[in-house]
Amino acid sequence: MLYDDVFSPYARKVRIALYEKGVPFERVRALHGDCNRTDFLHVNPRAEVPALVDGDFSLYDSTIICEYLEDRYPRTVPLPARSPASRRVSPPRRLGGHAA
């Protein structure tokens, strides 16, 4: 269960991590009336989003949550290896193909 808010960039960071890892989760809008405030304060006494509950375990702070998710759900498909030469950026092309 992820306690979050649509306007929080920190909660958005955690949602992206969960989506990218394919981890199913339930969203609870913690700051705009979807939850019992006492329950939320039990998970995060600072009353800030995001906060994550995974079974009997809960934690807060987006960076800590993302580190936990990386440990708990490591990437199963690594990023494709690329040679340094393939990472070069080509110079920008002129629009219309005409020299200035």
Radius of gyration over alpha carbons of the chain, in Å?
20
What phi and psi, each to the nearest 5 degrees, are found at residue 4?
A: -145, -175
What is the value of pTM for the model shown? Answer: 0.70
Return the pLDDT at 42.
Answer: 84
pLDDT by residue (tens digit) across 51-96?
999 999 999 999 999 999 999 998 755 555 666 666 666 666 665 6
